[in-house]
Amino acid sequence: MKLVFDRPRALADVQTHYCPGCTHGIIHRLVAEAIDELDIAERTVGVAPVGCAVLAYNYFNLDFQEAAHGRAPAVATGIKRALPENVVFTYQGDGDLASIGTAEIVHAANRGEAITVVYVNNAIYGMTGGQMAPTTLPDQKTSTSPYGRDVSSAGYPIRMAEMLSTLVAPQYIARVAVNSPANIQRAKRAIKKAFEIQVKNKGFALVEVLSTCPTNWGLSPEKALRWLEDNMIPYYPLGDFKVPKEVE
Amino acid sequence: MSEKLLMKGNEALGEAALQAGCQLYFAYPITPQSELPEYLSRRMPELGRVFLQAESEIAAINMVYGAAGAGARVMTSSSSPGISLKQEGLSYIAAAQLPCVIVNMSRGGPGLGSIQPAQSDYLQATKGGGHGDYHLIVLAPASAQEIVDLTILAFDLADQYRTPVMIMGDGLLGQMMEPVLFPDRTNVELPEKPWATTGRKGDRPKNIIHSLELQSERLEAHNQKLQEKYADIAATQKRSDEYLTEDADVVLVAFGTVARICRSAIDMAREKGIKAGLFRPISLWPFPDEALARLAEKERVFLSVEMNCGQMVDDIKLAVDCRRPVHFFGRVGGIVPSPEEVLAEIEKIMAGRCDA
């Protein structure tokens, strides 16, 4: 019998700590599939964030560094500049990348660092128990916005993909979602493209992945997928924001 | 390079780092150390190495983390307020046991303070600075030549112990021009780093650079391992220098720039018949307490002279086990004490020795 579906080699055969219904597992798999297909595992170094994916280094069969909160793009810069022939990627959540680490991501992107950034946006701080994130939607209730996010005080959710696409140096910036099989296929293509761009030494690539947090949203996994579709995608439109001509 | 060159301390430090095999340098501009990034921004590209001006002190130290974790010899530099910003990164680097060199050409504080020389980061450098139980090896040069020698040593110690090493200078040392001689480093082999994240090849287990240990027992074990390493460093890496201490009735204790001023004051005191001497810590951590304790075996008084409000005094008192009087004289705010001021202090102490 022909084997048609297996665990990617770049993904470790271990149980993760992610909550039931959380889409981190899907995104991990997409990253591992892309690394396998490009056959780059032996020269790839990942950088884990602080947040739910803090233990990502346990889930990939890859060399990994764990960065301080928000500093992954700076750590990745150090690795890539030391080992320019290697493939370096960061895997960061929205608190890590869009709040405490905004300076690091903006300047890594602005320098055109040849790194790949997988940016997982689930509109909430998951690891610390569901506090308001810079990406939390207007009126969305969290443990630190119990009356709903008040935009007159907390401002509006940050659209990182759009903001970073105003910079000259980045080669590829896209937003995808993992709430349906069709969107997962698109997410896979975008993540693979973001690695391909680095392999071809074209510079900075970032994929923002809209993700669910059933536990802290207080929804069942199935309802969380629908909530993402109904609430997040209208505010965070999917698509490519920056594509290099030769890769288009 | 074997001929004597006239160089600023900051530039001598940069050249010494190159001789030591520093492959990457990340920094953010701050006075009074900007000659160092300026020098390396010229020299690193000439040698095909990496100079990168980071967006912040925080980014610079985290770039150091990444490059050190990738197995490279790497350095960053700053001055006091910038070093404060790097403390988060230093804690992570110490925890993850990454070798690297950090330069602090310190200036007056607290806060934005001044751009004039000071030694008021002594406690920050020697007692931690960031969160958690860790130490940096801290080396304090007192001349441009010693900057060269200690910078090369710093890279070697960093690799030997997998630990961050700080060069603690001050604005005066960095700016002053002096003749320097560089050792021949042509046949130096750098150590292998099998733990570095260079990509997992073949059957090698994956390398992970991290400091997270969610299990309390494992974190305690990691702390104990770090403490064993610090004990090993403390047992073997204490460094100090002495000047006319043999017969001294008063021993001045000073490091860096101030130690040179104290030498002048000691010469002036000797001319007046006062037997003064100098004990100069070269490693601020580990503090050279045993050598100082030996001096305390004889009846004499100690005078700590610092460009701060007395941050080293506790270490001296601990070293002499409070058996001998320890006096303090300091200037702060970026003021460098004059030899005459120090001499006056020596005379005051010797005159009132019975009161001490």
What is the rounded distance in angstroms from the CA atom of residue A185 to the CA atom of residue A241?
18
Q: Count how many pairs of residues, chain A against chain B, have C-beta atoms within 8 Å.
A: 131
Out of A55, A76, A86, name the one closest to residue B198 (CB): A86
Out of B74, B89, B209, name the one closest to residue A66 (CB): B209
Residue A244's pLDDT band, with cuts at 50, 70 and 90, is confident
Contacts for A45 with CB less than 8 Å, ≥ 6 apart: A62, A63, A64, A65, A79, A83, A86, A87, A88, A89, B70, B197, B198, B199
Model pLDDT for residues A180-203, shown as the tens digit of each residue: 999 999 999 999 999 999 999 889
Q: Do A64 and B92 touch (CB under 8 A)?
A: no
| A242 strand-pairing partners | A173
pLDDT at A246: 63
Q: Which of B206, B207, B211, B213 to mutate to test the interface with A (most CBs of A within 10 A)?
A: B206
- Identity of the amino acid at A184: I
Window 200-229 of B, Cβ < 8 Å to A? 200-202, 206-212
Measured CA distances, B319 to A123, B182, B235, B276, B315 (Å) = 55, 34, 15, 19, 6
Asked if the ipTM is above 0.95, the reply is yes
Q: In this prediction, what percent of chain A has a pLDDT beyond 90?
A: 95
What is the rounded distance in angstroms from the CA atom of residue A162 to the CA atom of residue A159?
6
- Closest chain A CA to residue B196: A63
Closest listed residue to residue B258, CA positions, set B296, B321, B322, B303:
B303
Model pLDDT for residues A16-58, shown as the tens digit of each residue: 999 999 999 999 999 999 999 999 999 999 999 999 999 999 9
Question: Under CATH, which architecture does the A24-247 domain have?
Answer: 3-Layer(aba) Sandwich (3.40)
Q: Does A66 touch chain B (CB under 8 A)?
A: yes
Q: Which chain B residues have a beta carbon less than 8 Å from that of A100?
A: none
Q: Which domains does chain B have, with CATH numbers?
A: 5-186+223-236 (3.40.50.970), 241-355 (3.40.50.920)
Identify whether the C-beta of residue B245 lies closer than 8 Å to the C-beta of residue B251: yes
**For chain A, which residues make up each domain, given as ranges?**
24-247
Q: Do B55 and A104 touch (CB under 8 A)?
A: yes
Q: Do B24 and A54 touch (CB under 8 A)?
A: no
Average pLDDT over residues A73-98: 98
Out of B24, B26, B62, name the one closest to residue A67 (CB): B62
Q: Helix or strand or coil: residue B226?
A: helix
**A201 to chain B, closest Cα gap in Å:** 17
Q: Do B58 and A82 touch (CB under 8 A)?
A: no
Model pLDDT for residues A132-168, shown as the tens digit of each residue: 999 999 999 999 999 999 999 999 999 999 999 999 9
Average pLDDT over residues A71-99: 98
3-state DSSP of chain A:
CCCCCCCCCCECCCCCCCCCCCCHHHHHHHHHHHHHHHCCHHHEEEEECCCHHHHHHHHECCEEEECCCCCHHHHHHHHHHHCCCCEEEEEEEHHHHHHHCHHHHHHHHHHCCCCEEEEEECCCECCCCCECCCCCCCCCCECCECCCCCHHHHCCCCCHHHHHCCCCCCCEEEEEECCCHHHHHHHHHHHHHHHHHHHCCCCCEEEEEECCCHHHHCCCHHHHHHHHHHHHHHHCCCEEEECCHHHC
Q: Which chain A residues have a beta carbon less than 8 Å from that of B71?
A: 82
pLDDT tens digits in sequence order for chain B, 356 residues long: 568 999 999 999 999 999 999 999 999 999 999 999 999 999 999 999 999 999 999 999 999 999 999 999 999 999 999 999 999 999 999 999 999 999 999 999 999 999 999 999 999 999 989 999 999 999 999 999 999 999 999 999 999 999 999 999 998 999 999 999 999 887 788 899 999 999 999 889 999 999 999 999 999 999 999 999 999 999 999 999 999 999 999 999 999 999 999 999 999 999 999 999 999 999 999 999 999 999 999 999 999 999 999 999 999 999 999 999 999 999 999 999 999 999 999 999 999 864 44
What is the rounded distance in angstroms from the CA atom of residue B245 to the CA atom of residue B252?
9
What is the rounded distance in angstroms from the CA atom of residue A121 to the CA atom of residue A211?
6
Measured CA distances, A71 to A16, A77, A180, B278, B292 (Å) = 23, 10, 31, 44, 42
pLDDT higher than threshold 70 for residue A248: no
